[in-house]
Amino acid sequence: MDDALKKTLAKIANTIRGLAMDAVQKANSGHPGLPMGCAELGAYLWGYALRYNPKDSNWMGRDRFILSAGHGCMLQYATLHLSGYKISLDDLKHFRQLHSNTPGHPEFGHTDGIEVTTGPLGQGVGDGVGLALGLKILATKFNTPKQPLFDSKVFVLAGDGCMMEGVSSEASSLAGYLQLDNLILIYDSNKICLDGPTSESFVEDTKTRYKAYGFEVYECDGQDLEAIDAVISSIRAHQERPAFVVLHTIIGKGSPNKQGTNKAHGSALGPEEVALAKKTLGLPEEDFYVPGAVRSFFEEKQKSDAALQAAWQTLFDAWSKENPERRAEFDVMHEKRLPSNIESDLRGLAIKAPIAGRSASAAVIKHLSTILPFLYGGSADLSGSDLTMMKQFPLLSPGHFAGRNIKFGVREFAMACAASGLSRTDMILPFVGTFLTFSDYMRNAIRLACLMKVQVIYHFTHDSIFLGEDGPTHQPVEHYMSLRTIPNLHFIRPGDQNEVKMAWLAALKYKGPTAFSLTRQNLPEVPGTDRPYAEGVGRGAYILKREDRKPDFTLVATGSELHLAHDVMLELEKRGKAVRLISMPCWELFEAQDKAYRDSLFGGDIGKRVSIEAGVAQGWYKYIGREGIAISQDGFGASAPASALATEFGFTVESILERVLA
């Protein structure tokens, strides 16, 4: 690094500090400490080391940067603004304000240049592992010796809090096993967390820990540009495994009275301290000051950024010409293009009932994997139970990324984060499996996936008390409603193999996250479910059996209780009752229908309303009314065969008839 560049980067670093202080102070809210402590790193990455083009933030050949310590987002907003992304100085002035382009934590899809939504600590590490893994998959699939299309790096900046959160351990252990030589995890080690010094709660030897994971481990002075360059340049040139860089920084560096303390962590420094800090740093008193030399540097750099992408595009065009079949597959994956006959193809897939929901889904997966090259699957050590393994394809393993199956190990939280990262390659549609009750381990990652609206499929099995003998520790009860409360998540509980097939079609069509709820036990085919998508599952809820006169009862059910509701209907009809039977596999799809359709199912006088679902009743009264009857499971289950549990908890035709006819 020559002296002129070093001098410019130092000026950029102090500019970042000034912008971070001013934005947080103007908002009177935020975290100035990390951006001030990591300003040299930000200047070095965006001013020199990262490969990117601010005029095309989705350029496929770019390096990726993830701020796992998302509270320090003013570092990212400042660097994105300076380097030419669609973040104006006015956006920085409206940090953390309503409808601002600079929210309190980085949000993918909201702010240009943000790769993933971060904030809950540690998850960015998991997302980064998934993104790095996805790029290794794509490199194996598409790179040639002459044309290394996918050779970029994934940089993740994490803090002390990220290191404390267990998800970073899960994800890093997986990355070390897979030997992801395109992942660079930088640890902002400033020895301060929100409540005070880390010595009060966190004294582990992180370097040794990461060596045990299988990382290459480095450390350097985070305020020394030459030291940072020496480490990052060496990694760029020689990396063979994931890299872990301990970056020793001073939180809030430049603030005379608050640097190195938790007072610089989670609140504005105060106008007097900002003024002192600017004087210390040699910055003018002017708010949101950007030196002309810094502007000129990045304006000039944009030419080289554009040239980088142009060179990559030339490489890509040559590759496309020489590899037309690969290019065709590339386009299918990039567009996640579905065959035009996908619905008829799935409906024609022979799956014989009775069959468990998980088994029916496995048959769909096997078929889809042969026609959808972008479909990749994995499981948290349960592929033999959740049936997510695509046996016609190999496993991914260290140095071998040509397979389609990922063994995540018993790492549900990291698996969910990695799934979001895989999706953010914009080339892969991941599905990940475990038991429904363990969705609790994944919940915050699912929530962020919903906030990002990334296309991920959560393949949850063993979805009720009727999994049987494993008992209440494994029997989900509150989970249906818990997942239904997350905005943007489509939670689908299919009632037989026909609905399973259309549930997959729903997930393929929806450009957001979908969760399947699938049974362990066999289910019969329910008459009337074999119908076009737009007349059945695609509506979210539909009338499975229409009454022949004004209904005495309306029964609505999901999943494994659909056939039970059908049998109850038959018994009521024997007693001369008129019954409407509704299947409701996906509340979210139903609520997206127009009012006229929703009213055609639940509007007006449709008799006594009865919901039948082996989960908590909460939520059902929206559809069945205060006077409706919820056949539900409002307590934990028990360890016993499924048939004994059905009798014990009232999920039999006789028990339900007794309640509804009382």
| Measured distance CA(80)–CA(76) in Å, rounded | 6
Helix (H) or strand (E) segment spanning residue 451: helix 439-452
| CB contact set of 267 (below 8 Å; sequence gap of 6+) | 24, 29, 30
SS3 193: strand
Active-site annotation holder among 107, 273, 412, 561: 412
Query: Cβ atoms within 10 A of the Cβ of 547, count?
Result: 19
Query: Cβ atoms within 10 A of the Cβ of 581, count?
Result: 25
Give catalytic status of residue 412 as yes or no: yes
Contact 129, 180 (CB under 8 A): yes
| DSSP secondary structure code for residue 100 in this structure | -
Contact 596, 650 (CB under 8 A): no
Contact 377, 388 (CB under 8 A): yes
Helix/strand/coil percentages in the chain, nearest 5: 45, 15, 40
| Measured distance CA(215)–CA(227) in Å, rounded | 20
Our CA angle for 319, 430, 483, nearest 5°, is 155
Contact 368, 380 (CB under 8 A): no
How do strand 243-248 and strand 355-356 relate by DSSP bridges? Answer: unpaired
Instruction: Verify cis geometry, omega within 30 degrees of 0, for the bond prior to 532.
Output: no
In the block, which residue shows the tokens 């002192």?
A: 276
Beta pairing partners, 378: 406, 432
Residue 430's nearest CA partner among 650, 161, 126 is 126
Report the sign of the C-alpha dihedral through residues 408, 414, 416, 417, in that order: negative
**What are the CA-CA distances from residue 275 to residues 18, 28, 39, 160, 189 (Å)?**
10, 15, 18, 28, 26
Residue 184's nearest CA partner among 233, 224, 139 is 233
| Measured distance CA(286)–CA(284) in Å, rounded | 5
| Measured distance CA(453)–CA(254) in Å, rounded | 38
Residue 543's nearest CA partner among 497, 600, 491 is 600
| Measured distance CA(303)–CA(558) in Å, rounded | 57
Beta pairing partners, 197: 192
Report CA 568 to chain centroid distance, whole Å.
40
Q: Which residues are catalytic?
A: 412
